[in-house]
Structure formats: structure tokens, C-alpha cells
């Protein structure tokens, strides 16, 4: 990462009006006879020059590119003076390095950084690009710019009764890396990850389905690397996929996929993806289909039957807390996961751990709504088929059925019974620790 301020050597010899380099003195190493600034030529203020430590080579002359550092206590005036420089024409031979791309960043401590980029002989300054969070965040776009990777350390408060990260922690990290990806490519940072056209048309993205599979839960202080990317999904929406890895050994510990649709923020009605919107975000998507779940008939594609009133387990009267509301003033997607698990029987929570969860979002939940959570055991057709081939016909328990459980879920409004969310979970026996 570049230092607090890096700028090309002899930056005071730049014509601000024409953006062309000014002819240097006959002897660039002679500090006692610098050329006087001509009218219209940029000359750094004396205070700025005093804060720049300019190395003077005795012999031979300095390298073709000198990086100068501005001390952290530089004033805003210093930065403003330097930020006036723009290199718009081909630079003088020997002034810039021969490599294709170099980056020069200029930022005071109190403002977002300005970024000067040198690429293919051109350079420019982009004031306000990036932030302190961008520089500290352990994430960035991949080399092709079509996906985003970020690393996270599991915190102690993100660990549950199993001494591993909870599924809510995993879901929050997926949401975080997705938002950071959208922000890194220039989408809106207001919580909706919207494009310019979407904001003009008052459109936002809303989640239609979320499918998460976790093969190994990370523990406290483990480092997880998450890669995410988005793609088109028909004419009515888009999809976002994730792959989770143990950063220590590169092992895939989870996968996830989601479907998103566009909704008018005022009418709350769904709307087809406009071609202009599609053009704005598809340039950041893989050119060919890339799926986190490429397998045929994988769990993310299975339909979820609606659970009727005769549920085996229930938890009634759940009320959204203020902390459950996100920046968009409705219940956050991750909160639904916690509500679904509230109606799970305790013996399953004690002996099993969640392996897969699929949620279909049907209705928004507001802060004053009261929610009922219903759950029932769902026989797995695949396991039943295996049992029949083994000659048991499902009449007796087997190790396969003992180590595996599957449930259907329903979240509904307590008053009128309107469906908020339906889901399916799959559970495996907890490993011996």
C-alpha cells in the first residue's frame, strides 16, 4: 500500500493550465540554482516545500522516478496545492517509469484520499476516491475485476454455543462482502447498492431467495476468505454467489447463492430489469456463467412446500427489536434466519448442527409486525430411496437417518396469517470435539 502521500519528483515543475511539464534547469542536481516559477506555472508554497523531504543525489543523478512523502502533519493547504496537478498529456521521457501502471495517492488525514493514476502514459487525479476503511479493509477486486475477495477474522461475539461461528454470523459476512463488492465498483453506498439509472427510477434490489451450505464452521480467531460475484438472472432479477474458504489452508468450508429482484421503492411493486440497468452492472459480472453450485439438481434449486397449520413445533409472538432493523428501515434478511431457528426443537439444537438453509422471501416485515415461527420434520426423498434399496422400506432407523435431519419452516404474521417467509433446513450430527 502506498504511503500517506506519494507524488512524482519535481512536481512543482508542472504547468497547471496546460498540464505540460516545464523545462527543467540545465543541472537538475544543482539545488542552488532552481528555475524561477514563470507566470502560469505551478510552484508549491514554501510551507509545502518545507514539509517535503526531497533527496538530492550527489552523483549520479537520482532515478527517473522519485517518490516524495508528505508528513502526516501536512496542512490542508499543502494538499490542495498538490492536488491541482493533472498530467493529461504524454509525460516527458524519463519522468515516468517504464511500467504500464503506477498509482500516486494524495490524502490528508481529515479527508477521503485523492488518487492519482498513471496508466499507459496518462495520469490523472481523482479527489475523494477511496477511504480509510478501503485502506484498512482486507478485501479487493480480483485481478480480472469480475469478483471480489475479502478476509474476515471470526470475533468472540460471533461464536455460539458450539464454540464456532453461528449461521447468522456467516450470513452477516455474506451480506458484508456483497455490499463491499458493490461499493468497490462504484454502486450506491446508501444501503441499496443501486446504479445511477436505478436511483433515477427509484428502484432498489430486494432478496427473493437465499441458499447457504456450510461444510465446516470456523471457530473464534479463524480467518475466513469469501469470494463473491454477481450475474444476470433472466429478465426479472440478478443473482449473487459466494464461496467461503479457510484462509489457513484454502479448504472450501461453505458456498452460498441468492436471487435478487428489482422493486419500486415507493409502490413496493416488482419491476423487470431495464436494459440500461442491466448494462450498468453486467460489465462487472463474469462473461460466462459461473455458479457456486454447478451440480444438477442441487439443493439451491429445490422448491419449498408451504408448511400448513399442523406444524410440529412453533414459537409464537416474535417481535422485531430495534436492532433487527437495517439502514433501510425494515427487518434485515439475517433476522429471518434467527426467527426460523427459534421454533426448532431443543434436542436438534443440542445434538445437530445446521448444514443447509434455504429461504424464500415472500413479504417484507415491518417493525410493528408480530411474527409466528413454525417448523416440522420433512422426510428426505433421497434418503427414503436409499433405505428402500437397502430393503428396510423405511421401517427401521439406520445410521443415515440418525445422522441427518430435514425440516420445513414458515414465518407468518400473527394477526392475519400472511406468509412472510418459507424455508428448509438440513442438519447433521455434531462432530466429536
Query: Grid coordinates 444501503 are at which residue?
Result: 191
Percent of the chain that is helix, strand, coil (3-state, to 5): 20, 30, 50
How are beta strands 223-233 and 6-8 bridged, if at all? unpaired
Closest CA to 11 of 116, 119, 127, 121: 116
318 and 342 Cβ atoms separated by less than 8 Å: yes
3-state SS assignment for residue 246: strand
What is the distance between the alpha carbons of residues 312 and 374, in angstroms, rounded to a whole number? 8
Q: Pick the catalytic residue: 332, 365, 409, 421? A: 365
Q: Pick the catalytic residue: 330, 368, 390, 421? A: 330
Please name the helix (run of DSSP H) or strand (run of DSSP E) that holds residue 278, with its range, or none.
Answer: helix 275-282
DSSP state of 133: H
Residue 186: how many other CB atoms lie within 10 Å:
12
**Active-site annotation holds for 365:** yes
What is the distance between the alpha carbons of residues 291 and 147, in angstroms, rounded to a whole number? 12
**Active-site annotation holds for 180:** no
**Active-site annotation holds for 179:** no
Cell representation of residue 333: 434478511
Question: What letters, b where the CB count within 10 A reaches 16 and e where it falls short, cover 317-330?
Answer: ebebeeebbeeeeb
| Catalytic residue annotation | 328, 330, 365
Amino acid at each position: 500500500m502506498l504511503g500517506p502521500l506519494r507524488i512524482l519528483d519535481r512536481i512543482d515543475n508542472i504547468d497547471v493550465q496546460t498540464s505540460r511539464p516545464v523545462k527543467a534547469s540545465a543541472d537538475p542536481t544543482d539545488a542552488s540554482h532552481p528555475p524561477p516559477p514563470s507566470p502560469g506555472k505551478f510552484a508549491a508554497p514554501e510551507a509545502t516545500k518545507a514539509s517535503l523531504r526531497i533527496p538530492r543525489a550527489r552523483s549520479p543523478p537520482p532515478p527517473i522516478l522519485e517518490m516524495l512523502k508528505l508528513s502526516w502533519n501536512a496542512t490542508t493547504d499543502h494538499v490542495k496545492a498538490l492536488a491541482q496537478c493533472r498530467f493529461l498529456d504524454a509525460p516527458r521521457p524519463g519522468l515516468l517509469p517504464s511500467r504500464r501502471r503506477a498509482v500516486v495517492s494524495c490524502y490528508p488525514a481529515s479527508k477521503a484520499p485523492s488518487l492519482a493514476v498513471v496508466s499507459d502514459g496518462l495520469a490523472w487525479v481523482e479527489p475523494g476516491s477511496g477511504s480509510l476503511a478501503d485502506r484498512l479493509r482486507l478485501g479487493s477486486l480480483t485481478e480480472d475485476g469480475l469478483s471480489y475477495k475479502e478476509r474476515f477474522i471470526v470475533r468472540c461475539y460471533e461464536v455460539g454455543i458450539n464454540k464456532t461461528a453461528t449461521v447468522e454470523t456467516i450470513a452477516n459476512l455474506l451480506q458484508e462482502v456483497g455490499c463491499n463488492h458493490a461499493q468497490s465498483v462504484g454502486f450506491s453506498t446508501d444501503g441499496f447498492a443501486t446504479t445511477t439509472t436505478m436511483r433515477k427510477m427509484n428502484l432498489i434490489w430486494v432478496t427473493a431467495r437465499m441458499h447457504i451450505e456450510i461444510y465446516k464452521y470456523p471457530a473464534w480467531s479463524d480467518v475466513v476468505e469469501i469470494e463473491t460475484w454477481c450475474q444476470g438472472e433472466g429478465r426479472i432479477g440478478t443473482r449473487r454467489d459466494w464461496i467461503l474458504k479457510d484462509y489457513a489452508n484454502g479448504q472450501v468450508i461453505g458456498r452460498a447463492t441468492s436471487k435478487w429482484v428489482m422493486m419500486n421503492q415507493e409502490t413496493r411493486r416488482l419491476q423487470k430489469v431495464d436494459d440500461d440497468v442491466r448494462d450498468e452492472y453486467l460489465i462487472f459480472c463474469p462473461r460466462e456463467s459461473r455458479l457456486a453450485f454447478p451440480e444438477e439438481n442441487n439443493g439451491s434449486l429445490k422448491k419449498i412446500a408451504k408448511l400448513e397449520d399442523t406444524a410440529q413445533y412453533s414459537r409464537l409472538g416474535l417481535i422485531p427489536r430495534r436492532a433487527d432493523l437495517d439502514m433501510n428501515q425494515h427487518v434485515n434478511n439475517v433476522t429471518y434466519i434467527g426467527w426460523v431457528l427459534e421454533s426448532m426443537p431443543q434436542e436438534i439444537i443440542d445434538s445437530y448442527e445446521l448444514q443447509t438453509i434455504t429461504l424464500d422471501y415472500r413479504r417484507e416485515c415491518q417493525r410493528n409486525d408480530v411474527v409466528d415461527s413454525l417448523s416440522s420434520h420433512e422426510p428426505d426423498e433421497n434418503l427414503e430411496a436409499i433405505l428402500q434399496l437397502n430393503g428396510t422400506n423405511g421401517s427401521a432407523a439406520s445410521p443415515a437417518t440418525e445422522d441427518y435431519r430435514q425440516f420445513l419452516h414458515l414465518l407468518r404474521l400473527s394477526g392475519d396469517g400472511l406468509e412472510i417467509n418459507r424455508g428448509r433446513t438440513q442438519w447433521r450430527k455434531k462432530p466429536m470435539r
